[in-house]
C-alpha cells in the first residue's frame, strides 16, 4: 500500500499535485475552512485549491452538505474528552466536555451553523456521544433519559455557538440583536407586563454565564424528567441480539 517512490528527474515538476482521494479532499477542505471560513469551502473553490475542476469532486463527495459534515467530523477530533475520567463533580466534568465542544465550534464560527443540520456519524462524533453518556451514567441518570438528553445537550451547545458566531461574522445579525434589545426595553408594561417586569434579565449575563446555566439546567431536567418509555417497557430485554450469524437484511 506504499505509493510509488517519486523519481525527481523532471525539473519542471509541479508542487506535487496529489492524486485525488477522499481524505485529501477533506484535508484540503478543512485547511481552506480554517483559513477562509466555511462560506469559502465551495465545490468550485475547493476544486480550484486542488487544481482540478469542480466536477471531479463529485466522484468522491455527493454534495456540499456531505462535504461540510466531513469537515465537522474532522474538527470534532479537537474536543477535549479527558474530563470524563477526571476528578470532581460529574456535572462539572460534563459541562467541561460540552464547553470544549462549544469552544471548537466557536473557534470556527462558520461551522456552527452547519453543525445544526449536518449529522456526522464518524468516530469523533461517536466518541463525543459516548463521553456524554458515560458522564450521565456516572451521575445515575436512567439510560432512557440519558439517551434523549445527550441530543438536547449537543443541540443547545450547537445552537448557542451558531447564534453567537452568526453575530461575530455578520454585522446584520448584530443589528438584529440590537433592535431586539431595544424592542424588549421599549415593551410597554401595559401590553407586555412580564417582559417589562423581568427587564434586563432577558439580555443579562455573559455568554459564558448563560451557557453554563443552560448546560446546568438541561442536565438537571434530564436527570429529573422521566421519558414515556419508562412506563412502556419496564424490562430492558428489547435489545437487539448481536449480529452474529444471520445478517439483518432490512434497511
Partner DNA sequence: ACCTGAACACCGTTCAAGT
Write down the least CB distance from residue 22 to DNA, Å.
12
Choices 9-17, 20-28, 37-45, 164-172; region in contact with a copy of itself by CB under 8 A: 164-172
Any contact of residue 20 with a copy of itself (CB under 8 A)? no
Write down the least CB distance from residue 13 to a copy of itself, Å.
28
C-beta closer to a copy of itself: residue 55 or 172: 172
**Distance between CA atoms of 203 and 200, rounded to whole angstroms?**
6
The footprint of DNA on residues 47-106 (CB under 7 A) is 52-56, 58-59, 63-64
Write down the least CB distance from residue 171 to DNA, Å.
11
Any contact of residue 28 with DNA (CB under 7 A)? no
**Distance between CA atoms of 53 and 43, rounded to whole angstroms?**
9
Choices 22-30, 42-50, 121-129, 218-226; region in contact with DNA by CB under 7 A: 42-50
Any contact of residue 24 with DNA (CB under 7 A)? no
**What is the sign, positive or negative, of the torsion defined by CA atoms of 119, 123, 125, 126?**
positive
Any contact of residue 119 with a copy of itself (CB under 8 A)? yes
Cβ(70)–Cβ(81) below 8 Å: no
Q: Pick the binder of a copy of itself from 7, 240, 244, 250 (CB under 8 A).
A: 240
9 burial (CB, 10 Å; 0-12 / 13-18 / 19+) is exposed
Cell numbers linked to 51: 487544481
Cell numbers linked to 25: 479532499
DSSP state of 228: T
Cβ(114)–Cβ(148) below 8 Å: no
C-beta closer to a copy of itself: residue 48 or 217: 217
**Distance between CA atoms of 165 and 111, rounded to whole angstroms?**
9
**Distance between CA atoms of 112 and 46, rounded to whole angstroms?**
20
Any contact of residue 78 with a copy of itself (CB under 8 A)? no
Residues in touch with DNA (CB under 7 A)? 20, 40, 42-45, 52-56, 58-59, 63-64
Amino acid at each position: 500500500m506504499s505509493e510509488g517512490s517519486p523519481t525527481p528527474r523532471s525539473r519542471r515538476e509541479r508542487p506535487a499535485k496529489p492524486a485525488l482521494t477522499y481524505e485529501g479532499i477533506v484535508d484540503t477542505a478543512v485547511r481552506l475552512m480554517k483559513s477562509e471560513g466555511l462560506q469559502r469551502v465551495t465545490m468550485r473553490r475547493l476544486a480550484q485549491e486542488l487544481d482540478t475542476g469542480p466536477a471531479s469532486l463529485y466522484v468522491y463527495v455527493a454534495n456540499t452538505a456531505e462535504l461540510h459534515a466531513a469537515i465537522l467530523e474532522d474538527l470534532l477530533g479537537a474536543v477535549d474528552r479527558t474530563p470524563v475520567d477526571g476528578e470532581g463533580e460529574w456535572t462539572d466534568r460534563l459541562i467541561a466536555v460540552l464547553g470544549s465542544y462549544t469552544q471548537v465550534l466557536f473557534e470556527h464560527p462558520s461551522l456552527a451553523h452547519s453543525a445544526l443540520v449536518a449529522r456526522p456519524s464518524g468516530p469523533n462524533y461517536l466518541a463525543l456521544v459516548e463521553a456524554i453518556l458515560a458522564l450521565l451514567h456516572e451521575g445515575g441518570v436512567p439510560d432512557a433519559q440519558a439517551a434523549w438528553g445527550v441530543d438536547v445537550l449537543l443541540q443547545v451547545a450547537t445552537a448557542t455557538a451558531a447564534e453567537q458566531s452568526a453575530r461575530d461574522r455578520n454585522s446584520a445579525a448584530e443589528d438584529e440583536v440590537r433592535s431586539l434589545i431595544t424592542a424588549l426595553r421599549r415593551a410597554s408594561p401595559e401590553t407586555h407586563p412580564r417582559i417589562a417586569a423581568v427587564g434586563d434579565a432577558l439580555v443579562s449575563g455573559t455568554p459564558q454565564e448563560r451557557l453554563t446555566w443552560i448546560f446546568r439546567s438541561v442536565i438537571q431536567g434530564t436527570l429529573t424528567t422521566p421519558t414515556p418509555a419508562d412506563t412502556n417497557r419496564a424490562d430492558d430485554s428489547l435489545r437487539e441480539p448481536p449480529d452474529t450469524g444471520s445478517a439483518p437484511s432490512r434497511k
